[in-house]
Amino acid sequence: MKKSLDMESYNHEDIEKKWQAQWQADGIYTVKDNVPGKENFYELVEFTYPSGNLHTGHWYAFAVPDIHARAKRMQGYNVLYPMGFDAFGLPAENAAIKLGADPKTWTYEQMEKMRVQLRSMGAMFDWSREVVTCDPEYYRWTQWMFNQFFAHDLVYRAITMVNWCPKDQTILANEQVVDGCCERCGTPVIQREQPQWMLRITKYADRLIDDLDNLDWPHAIKEAQKHWIGRSVGAEISFRIADHLQGISVFTTRADTIQGVTFVALAPEHPLVGELLPEITNVSAVSHYIETTKTKSELDRQQSKEKTGVRLEGVVAVNPMNNEEVPIWIADYVLAGYGTGAVMGVPMHDERDRAFAQAMGIAIIDQPLLDRDHVVKQVRGKIVKTYRLRDWGISRQRYWGTPIPIVYDLDGNAHPVPDEHLPWLLPTDVDHTPDGTAPLARSKELFERTEKIFGAGWKPEVETMDTFVDSSWYFYRYLDNHNGSAFAAKEKMDAWMPIDLYLGGAEHTTMHLLYSRFWNKALFDLGLVKESEPYKQRVNRGLILGPDGNKMSKSKGNVVNPDEIVGRLGADTVRMYLAFMGPYGTTANYPWDPNGVVGVRRFLERVWKLKQKIGKGAITAQLHKTIKKVTEDIAEYKFNTAVASMMTLVNEWERAPAILEGEYKTLLQLLAPFAPHITEALWQLCGETTSVHCSPWPLYNAALLVNEDRTIGVQINGKLRGEVTVAVSAPTEEIQKAALALPRIKEFLDGKTVKNVIVVPGRIVNIVCE
């Protein structure tokens, strides 16, 4: 007797193991490109680094959106919800170095571990479409696209000042520098001169701003991207240098203040400084200042807002508006990379100019403002747009990345590696320990390969690409991951693009999300893809914090290990608890509550036991309310309230003497996207022979909701004084009559004049009196 009861209790371990295997055997999550009568829906989540350790954040990122994808599937869409690995890059490489292992071997081992962990989520990933960016089959097309861009002048070589992390021995993008320190290791970043391959993202600056308007994206991301690109419209005005033919071109958005100019300031790095050196009478002071600036790190320059500078003695500039002579200074508050690297100093109207003038004892004069357009015309300036955004430097002096497919001839000219030689393989005969030089420069095989194909004396490029390149187009490869003749077939892209919904972390706002939009626009301009924007809708999620409310970290000892909880309580419980914590799609962070997760487990056990109550019951309006609520909430990523409404239904059913089998099965369907395993098991126990996940989404009966009685509040002058229960569809006169007939209300109104009665059916009655 006892034994059979045990066998009927909820055993998550057996159930999850059994159904994960069964689904795989049945191939129910294999996605076809076209299914007659079904609309395609492409739901994308940011793929992951194969760190080999799946943490709670991964569950939140992948298992909760899986709820949405599953519901969409049951609602009749042909849903693609793929997964892959962003497998090149520093984390993998550093781990490999630490363990003295080969990055490739290490990476593939971690991926295998992670596949097992990812499968434990019970998500509907179609693994046959998996994409791995370090696979030559993948990076062949990364290189091919690079070649396309090279051929169309979107790629160039430039000597740039780069952010250099001395610890990681690598170049960092501005986006990867946080407070002047390396985003990954926290080491202060220094400036270093470095030739590198650049992508002309600035050419797309206007479109990257303007095309945001048509996207269904959160306002905050749009604003952040606009600000990051930093378009500003102003004028370039030339100040003549006295006794010189040459002038200093300044950029200003305040041409109207030109009468108030009392100096001109150049960035210390400005090329004109060198040219003027012969005229300057205080060369040593100027040189000294330039040298000092060079030794200052970006961090120093950012932290110190004190204005410093040196006047260039012996030269003066002439204000083109009024021909007055003003001194020329160099100052490190003027940025070489923005505008023209030179400003006209107007202390009266610009805070920074005033601080500088005060520090240096420069005059501050108050002159009337002029008409902007008039000034620009008068001084023959030109209206220009300038951007904060810089071109994208993609070179990395690292081993574990996509090799840049460039070779150099005997004169040092760069040539792309012809497409027929792609993939241009990453050599394996290399000691990849970082020492500030490119590991590929040490590959005998790469140099021999280059000479063999291109001729004696030809040399290979030894840099690899930033991994943001790899992730700029991965969503196309899911559509056709084994295509050997194109990155993806046109008809497959037609079937799926653009991506209907892209869910991911807020940290990618100005990095991945901007880079991949640029990459897609470049492909679009080359006629390679049909959509100029890849992601129709974007939803950013927040973080899962440790139980103490802090970000999970090993040092704080607050890391929640999902494998342990899945083992103890089951994947269904973990998925559902993460969904229940709060609304998805806000960047709010939620602390993991070890007790809270138990509450969800209790709910699933109640659902399990509820099966015993199946018998003769009445059709309940509550079920139809729940169908409506769950359907609407999933569509808005409010999984927490969807779960709450199912809990309310179960609470009600537990109080009922019996429930109908059909209604119970409807609940299983509503619950299926959240808890795919237990619902499948119960569905089969109810005698079904096909998967609950292949069943159609329940529809609610609106008539049942309209006929329902509802208790509404009765207020007097806005204060609640009673309540009446009336049908939702009752006419207002009837509701008013019922409200005024309440004994308590009568008592309150005794001796008072009713001035107005407001009746909102289904909501409220408010009696206004004196």
Partner RNA sequence: GCCGGAAUGGCGGAAUGGUAGACGCAAUCGACUCAAAAUCGAUCGGAGGUGACUCCAUGAGAGUUCAAGUCUCUCUUCCGGCACCA
Residues 492-511, interacting with RNA (CB under 7 A) = 506-507, 509-510
Contacts of 528 (CB under 8 A, 6+ apart): 145, 148, 487
Give the residue with the Cβ less far from RNA, 288 or 763.
763
Q: Is 739 exposed, middle or buried (0-12, 13-18, 19+ CB in 10 A)?
A: buried
Phi, psi (rounded to 5 degrees) for 499? -65, 125
Which residue in 662, 654, 574, 572 sits closest to 619, CA to CA?
662
Indicate whether 717 belongs to the interface with RNA (CB under 7 A). yes
Which of the stretches 89-97, 98-106, 473-481, 633-641 binds RNA when contact is defined by CB under 7 A? 633-641
Among 195, 436, 457, 599, binds RNA (CB under 7 A): 599
Element (H, E) at 232: strand 232-241
Neighbours of 654 (CB within 10 A): 12
β pairing state of 181-182 and 177-178: antiparallel
Question: Which of 295, 555, 711, 753: binder of RNA (CB under 7 A)?
Answer: 711
- Please state the closest distance from residue 758 (CB atom) to RNA, in A: 4
The residue from 178, 185, 359, 703 that contacts RNA (CB under 7 A) is: 178
C-beta separation of 484 from 500 below 8 A: no
Closest to RNA by CB, 39 or 593: 593
Work out the burial of residue 575: count CB atoms within 10 Å of its CB; fewer than 13 is exposed, 13-18 middle, 19 or more buried. Answer: buried
Q: Within positions 301 to 320, which residues make up the interface with RNA, using CB under 7 A? A: 301-302, 304-305, 307
Closest C-alpha to 415, from 448, 464, 459: 459
Q: How far apart are CA 765 and CA 483, in angstroms?
A: 66
Member of 219, 380, 482, 554 binding RNA (CB under 7 A)? 219
Q: What is the DSSP string of 35-62?
A: -TT-EEEEEEE--B---S---HHHHHHH
| 580 contributes a contact to RNA by CB under 7 A | yes
Which of 21, 116, 151, 220 touches RNA (CB under 7 A)? 220
Triad 487, 493, 498: Cα angle to 5°: 120
Binding positions for RNA, 268-287, rule CB under 7 A: none
By CB under 7 A, tell whether 754 contacts RNA: no
Nearer to RNA by C-beta: 641 or 736? 641
> Least distance in Å: CB of 332 to RNA?
5
User: Could you say which of 723, 736, 738, 749 contacts RNA (CB under 7 A)?
Assistant: 723
Interface residue with RNA, options 586, 631, 695, 701 (CB under 7 A): 586
Q: Choose which of 603, 608, 653, 674 interacts with RNA (CB under 7 A).
A: 603
| C-beta separation of 446 from 458 below 8 A | no
Of 247, 505, 546, 583, the one binding RNA (CB under 7 A) is 583
According to the binding rule CB under 7 A, does residue 768 interact with RNA?
Answer: yes
DSSP-derived letter for residue 187 is P
- For RNA, which is the closer residue by CB, 482 or 719? 719
Q: How buried is 197 (Cβ within 10 angstroms: 0-12 exposed, 13-18 middle, 19+ buried)? A: buried
* Residue 297: CB minimum distance to RNA, A: 12
CB closer to RNA out of 253 and 437: 253
Count of alpha carbons within 13 Å of 321, Cβ hemisphere only? 23
Report, in Å, the least distance between residue 145 CB and RNA.
26
Q: Tell me the window of 86-94, 154-162, 165-173, 579-587 that interacts with RNA (CB under 7 A).
A: 579-587
In the complex with RNA, the residue whose CB is nearer, 457 or 599, is: 599
> Nearer to RNA by C-beta: 24 or 304?
304
Restricted to residues 637-666, the positions that interact with RNA (CB under 7 A) are: 638, 640-641, 643-644, 647-648, 651, 654-655
- Should residue 350 be labelled a site residue for RNA when binding is judged by CB under 7 A? yes
Q: Is 546 in the site for RNA (CB under 7 A)?
A: no
Cα separation, 724 vs 542, in Å, equals 42
Among 314, 457, 662, 718, binds RNA (CB under 7 A): 718
Closest contact distance (angstroms) between CB of 630 and RNA is: 12
Please, which residue, 31 or 650, has the CB nearer to RNA? Answer: 650
CA dist list (Å): 301 to 264, 298, 335, 340, 703: 20, 5, 11, 19, 69
**Shortest distance, CB of residue 534 to RNA, whole angstroms?**
21
Segment near RNA (CB under 7 A); pick from 91-99, 133-141, 578-586, 734-742: 578-586
Q: How many Å apart are CA 523 and CA 515, to the nearest integer? A: 12
| Helix (H), strand (E) counts: the chain | 28, 30
Asked whether position 732 contacts RNA by CB under 7 A, the answer is: no
Asked if 764 touches RNA (CB under 7 A), the answer is: yes
Output Rg (C-alpha) for the chain, integer angstroms. 33
Handedness of CA 662, 664, 667, 673 (dihedral sign): negative
Nearer to RNA, 518 or 590 (CB): 590
Q: State the DSSP code for 119.
A: H
Kindly tell me which residue out of 145, 600, 610, 726 binds RNA, with binding defined by CB under 7 A: 600
Per CB under 7 A, does 587 bind RNA? yes
Q: Is residue 753 close enough to count as binding RNA by CB under 7 A?
A: no
Residue count, binding to RNA (CB under 7 A): 88
Q: Which is nearer to RNA, 157 or 602 (CB)?
A: 602
* Binding segment toward RNA, per CB under 7 A, in 162-170, 482-490, 595-603, 693-701: 595-603
Rule CB under 7 A: say whether 590 interacts with RNA. yes
Tokens at 576, concatenated: 């559902």
Q: In the window 56-75, what residues touch RNA (CB under 7 A)?
A: none
Peptide bond before 498: cis, by omega within 30 degrees of 0?
Answer: yes
String of DSSP letters for 461-484: ---EE-HHHHTTSHHHHTTSTT-S
